[in-house]
Amino acid sequence: MRVMIFGASGLLGQALMREWSGDEVVGLSSRDVDIRDKNRVSEKVQSVSPGWIVLAAAYTDVDGCESNQDRALAVNRDGAVNVAEAAKGIGAKLLFLSSDYVFNGRKTSPYEIDDARNPLGVYGRSKSEAEERLQQLLPNCCIARTSWLFGTGGKCFPDTILKLGATRPRLDVVIDQHGCPTYSVDLAGAIIRLCRQDARGIVHVTNAGSCTWFEFAQGIVREAGLTTQVRPISTQQLPRPARRPAYSVLSPTSLNRLGITMPGWQDALARYLKQRKS
């Protein structure tokens, strides 16, 4: 199987390039191709002629999206359409990475794949509209929603906590946002299995279990052996340009139905810290 990965230099893209074996894998970063360039995307896809395309390229600065709405929609929605059209043109299958931010966070039980999209901000809207366009264009595409991604090779929440914790005696972290931390290595492994199973439709892919950002930070500090005190604060005490869903836990039902289970986030965190050290 020949696979093309857009976004190969990101946290997930790097993990996919490391973890994917047994197939021919071609990774493209934003330097290789800007997915906003329809003609360039088409040229690249036609030149490689992959059986599967994994679209992990995105503009993921949630707060930045609020002040750069045009860029967010051009990359996350229109760029996704460009890749989907190129995939359709050669008969390739597509797996698109989406987000828990397509939901408004007002539920108190895990979100299922058929729950209504209702994003709070521009980033979530760009992903939500991309999902809708892709389902119209490629009804058999696979949309993998994930959340709270962390991993080596780039900026992520654990990396930030570790760096701040090494120099500060106390960290204030929000306690009223709930989600599922997801390790890039585990997400990559699940994506590889989804492609090999010719998965289609929407699938929720996160590490097992859920927590608040405060609990996640506590786990990071404890596992790393830091003495930093983690203090809980409310979202209102930490104003940000973009609104976040208060509860965006994704149900594993759709993934489990395909015979795929994910390790717990605490186990994933321990492995991430080991990988980071090495």
Percent of the chain at pLDDT exceeding 90: 99
User: Could you tell me which CATH number the domain at 2-147+182-207+250-263 has?
Assistant: 3.40.50.720
Tokens of residue 8, six digits: 């190969």
Report, as an integer, the average pLDDT of 57-62: 96
pLDDT in tens, 158-168: 999 999 999 99
Residue 94 near residue 83, CB atoms below 8 Å = yes
| Known catalytic membership, residue 123 | yes
**C-alpha angle 71-202-122 in degrees, rounded to nearest 5:** 25
Residue 82 near residue 45, CB atoms below 8 Å = no
Report, as an integer, the average pLDDT of 45-68: 97
Of the candidates 59, 101, 111, 123, the residue annotated as catalytic is: 123
- Computed over every residue of the chain, the mean pLDDT equals 97
CA 275 distance to own-chain centroid = 19
Q: Is the pLDDT of residue 58 over 90?
A: yes
Residues comprising the chain, all counted: 278
Q: Is the pLDDT of residue 201 over 90?
A: yes
Model pLDDT, residue 239: 87
Q: Is the pLDDT of residue 261 over 90?
A: yes
Give the Cα separation of 98 and 56 in Å (integer): 9
Give 133's pLDDT tier (boundaries 50, 70, 90). very high
Report, as an integer, the average pLDDT of 221-247: 95
Report, as an integer, the average pLDDT of 179-191: 98
Q: Provide DSSP, 51-108.
A: SEEEE------HHHHHH-HHHHIIIIIIIHHHHHHHHHHHT-EEEEEEEGGGS-S--S
Q: Is the pLDDT of residue 231 over 90?
A: yes
Q: Is the pLDDT of residue 256 over 90?
A: yes
Helices (H), the chain: 11-19, 38-48, 62-67, 69-72, 80-90, 122-137, 157-165, 184-196, 213-224, 253-256, 265-277
Report, as an integer, the average pLDDT of 75-84: 98
